[in-house]
Amino acid sequence: MKELINKTKKLPIRESETVRRQIDDRTVNLFPEMSENPWLTKSIRRSAATSKPGKCGLTTLELCAGAGGQALGYEQAGFEHIGLVELDKHACATLRLNRPQWVKNRIVFEEDLNKFDGSPFKGADIISGGLPCPPFSVAGKQLGSLDERNLFPAMIRLVDQIRPKAVMIENVRGFAEAVFVDYRHSIKEQLKKLGYVTGWKLMNASDFGVPQLRPRVVFVGLRSEYAGHFYWPEKSLTSPETVGAKLFDLMAANGWSGASAWREQADEIAPTVVGGSHKHGGPDLGPTRSRRAWASLAVDGIGIANEAPAPDFLGMPKLTVRMVARIQGFPDEWQFSGGKTAAYRQVGNAFPPPFARAVAEQLRTCLSKSRLVRVAG
């Protein structure tokens, strides 16, 4: 293992602090017109109430719920789910497996979002979700509105039908690029006609404790009476753990003699976990460039392992689905339904729960303040 460590060259792409600063710079310069991001950043003080789920009295309908990463974040922020819509059967099974009460209440809907009827959900406080990324991803053709997988029109239709207090949608960094400026403006204008103030912000999961370089664009829409109380979440004051620190116990679970040396080599946060799509992608950690970045952490990015390395294992280990899930911010008790490929795809495409929680807590504070203002008035 020591020979492997000495021969593995660190790549410039893994200089995480430099990359993070570049992302921060892009966030500042991305939208020269203030109308695309009308809100400032501000920290919130977590109380005992905000640490306990189910205590805030606010509800959310989640679109394209996937394996439940965003749902977990909202649950941790105290929101109650009144519906979760997802087309993939394995992801729906995952949601039902982990939350029996969702099965009892029959709120997991295995449906095409384009055909989903939102009328029974009038009164929901928030519509949240992670719409399909391939239409906007730099790894694809970036067809945007012309891509059959683009579900922004379905989201706008449901907002019109339900009229929630707030909307929160996450997507890949590519959505924020100049090529889609007209499309972002179109979404803004459509929601403005419905009475919503909208904003977009590029943030990184590592800013909220996730040990991964995972930039994501977060879109928020608020009815005009609530818009004045919202702030984007502030970065965590502590840095995320390294891959080695985060995964050491899992990597050493079968008694691998090289686990300690590996932990020292895996001394940075992870590159972006790539889940692939139903059209492309299998149980791999990403394309060639991603695999090179993983190799600099002494991780074999070609394929996913079924279990941790054996005691006498030699070479670079592969990650298991559970290891990738931990890098994504999922708690260890969260289970994933389906075979290895299906489970990995769910994990790789998820919105990290700590990231989702950070935004959800800001929305909770915003809507709660608005309620207090109305009562006081």
Co-location of 249 and 223 in the same domain: no
Cα Rg, the chain, nearest whole Å = 21
For 306, residues 6+ apart whose C-beta sits below 8 A from its C-beta are: 320, 340
Residue 231 region by backbone torsions, left for phi larger than 0, else alpha for psi between -120 and 50, else beta: beta
Which residue of the set 56, 64, 92, 133 is catalytic? 133
Q: Is 133 a catalytic residue?
A: yes
Co-location of 284 and 192 in the same domain: no
Three-state DSSP state, 234: coil
Whether 240 has a pLDDT exceeding 80, the answer reads: yes
Identify the CATH number of the domain in which residue 120 sits.
Answer: 3.40.50.150
What is the average per-residue pLDDT within 334-341? 96
- pLDDT at position 42: 78
Whether 245 has a pLDDT exceeding 50, the answer reads: yes
For 30, residues 6+ apart whose C-beta sits below 8 A from its C-beta are: 176, 202
- pLDDT at position 218: 95
- pLDDT at position 53: 47
Co-location of 256 and 149 in the same domain: no
**For the chain, where are the E strands, in sequence order?**
41-42, 59-63, 80-85, 108-109, 126-130, 166-172, 196-204, 215-223, 232-233
Q: What is the chain's mean pLDDT, rounded? A: 85
Residues 159, 196: contact at Cβ < 8 Å? yes
Co-location of 227 and 249 in the same domain: no
Q: Express each pLDDT in 128-160 by its tens digit.
A: 999 875 454 444 444 444 456 588 899 999 999
Co-location of 359 and 289 in the same domain: no
Co-location of 278 and 198 in the same domain: no
- pLDDT at position 20: 45
pLDDT category, 256, cuts 50, 70, 90? very high
42-51, 260-269, 337-346, range with the lowest pLDDT: 42-51
Number of domains in the chain: 2
- Which residue carries 């991603």 as its tokens? 290
Q: Express each pLDDT in 177-228 by its tens digit.
A: 777 788 888 899 999 999 999 999 999 999 999 999 999 999 999 999 999 9
Co-location of 66 and 203 in the same domain: yes
Q: Which structural domain range is residue 295 located in?
A: 2-14+240-348
Co-location of 93 and 181 in the same domain: yes
What is the average per-residue pLDDT within 252-277? 93
Using the 8-state DSSP alphabet, how is residue 256 labeled? Answer: -
- Which residue carries 């400032």 as its tokens? 40
Co-location of 331 and 370 in the same domain: no
Co-location of 272 and 299 in the same domain: yes
Co-location of 6 and 134 in the same domain: no
Co-location of 343 and 358 in the same domain: no
- pLDDT at position 155: 94
- pLDDT at position 324: 98
pLDDT category, 176, cuts 50, 70, 90? confident
Selection from 68, 97, 100 nearest residue 84 by Cα: 68
Other beta carbons less than 10 A from residue 337's beta carbon: 19
